[in-house]
Amino acid sequence: MRSIFRLRNPIQDYAWGSPTAIPELLGQPATGEPQAELWMGDHPRAPSAIEIDGAWRPLDAVMRERGDLLLGAVGRQLPFLFKVLAAETALSIQAHPEARDAAAGFAREEAAGIPRDAAERSYRDANAKPEILLALTPFRILRGFRPPGVIARRAAAVGLGVELPEVAGLATPGGLERFVHAALSLEGAQLARVLDRVLERSHEVASSSSEESSSEAPSTDDLDASSAREMLRLAAQYPDDRGVLGPLYLELFDLPPGEAVFTGPAVLHAYLGGLGVELMANSDNVLRGGLTAKHVDAAELTSVLRYEPNAPRLLAPRLEAGGTARRFEAPEAGLVLSDLRLRPGNPLREGGAGVRILLCVEGSARIAVDGLGDDSGLEIARGQSVLVADSAPSYTLEGAGRLFCAEVR
């Protein structure tokens, strides 16, 4: 019985996607349309196809019927969803629910009869969605609240307190929650006045400073040039959108290529631009608060957030096989994303319990299960991916190239 299977993966054409980044990464022709996310997994919204028994079939259907073949005795669904993400413009300011909130929200919307593919649907499954993002190009991110006292001084510096009295109480118990709820609930004439005031100040700061920001720069008490420029960019992409204010109260930073950040549930964030690979729990639950033409539910979003300062959490890789394997782990979520660099004549032996998906982004590799004579192995070229079943106790990769491996431990 084979235990390595080829995959074909769907691409999501969201408007914020890059028309060139994913095709260039995978060595495929561009279509001229936005290509935002390549999905590798069995999420029912966009399952991969798997080549099995000489035919291509939807992976979610195979999992339901023959999950024991791929997962062993555990479940009928992959424990993760693996993506390539290419943001030409900003994604929505958003958070993903905790497990208990996801289960409750999914049940509530099911009972209300909202179709799972409806635009107004917030909970498309009952799962939490912790995630690891590894940058392939410099990747700009808003993630986690700045300290309340810092937010208060920054907001006051741009005159935000004139329209939002919640600014004055930011450092008091519950003050951060009240401020965020108010900022994400702005609309109409009040929103227009706030944006006019903040963007006017942003123009002043941006034009008076030629200093480029550092990706490691700490929060400042006043409006810094980096935040000012980012709000101007966001306003150009999403005019009259309350999410433009995000850089005032969320940490803004650039993730360097080859580095990874972990974002747990209930953490407010927005991916502003770049190319990366993303590993997450098997979920598509997104609660949005702005920077999008999609469904926004600020009340639901603010009800699930953790209201505490949450500076970016960069993951230190664990190096194995002389640096050939760099493993980024989020232990509390069980997610493991491996960056594998193969060199000719230096095979890499991988293995252990659990199903895996591998994606080749440079060169090529040959993968074969160790000690399994009837499994002849497969060649993986750039842009191709395979699923390695739980039944493979160990396997060997040989060649010259770069692959990413997704798994849950």
DSSP-derived 3-state class of residue 336 = strand
φ/ψ of 391, rounded to 5, equals -70, -10
**% helix / strand / coil in the chain, to the nearest 5?**
25, 35, 40
What residue ranges in 302-393 does DSSP mark as E strands? 314-315, 318-320, 325-330, 335-342, 348-351, 356-369, 378-381, 385-388
Residue (of 309, 273, 271, 263) closest to 288 by Cα position:
271
177 in Cβ contact with 302 (< 8 Å): yes
Distance (Å) of CA 97 to CA 102, 125, 130, 264, 288: 5, 11, 9, 9, 11
Residue (of 312, 332, 341) closest to 408 by Cα position:
332
CA distance 132 to 224: 28
Q: Which two tokens stand for residue 371?
A: 């000690």
HEC letters along 117-158: CCCCCCCCCCCCCCEEEEECCCEEEEEEECCHHHHHHHHHHC
**What's the gap between Cα 314 and its chain centre?**
14
Query: How would you label 144-161 residue by residue, b for 16+ Cβ within 10 Å and e otherwise?
Result: bbbbbebbbbbbbbbbbe
Residue (of 273, 358, 288, 291) closest to 85 by Cα position:
273
Query: Choosing from 242, 288, 326, 356, which is the catalytic residue?
Result: 288
143 is a catalytic site residue? no
Which residues form the catalytic set?
288
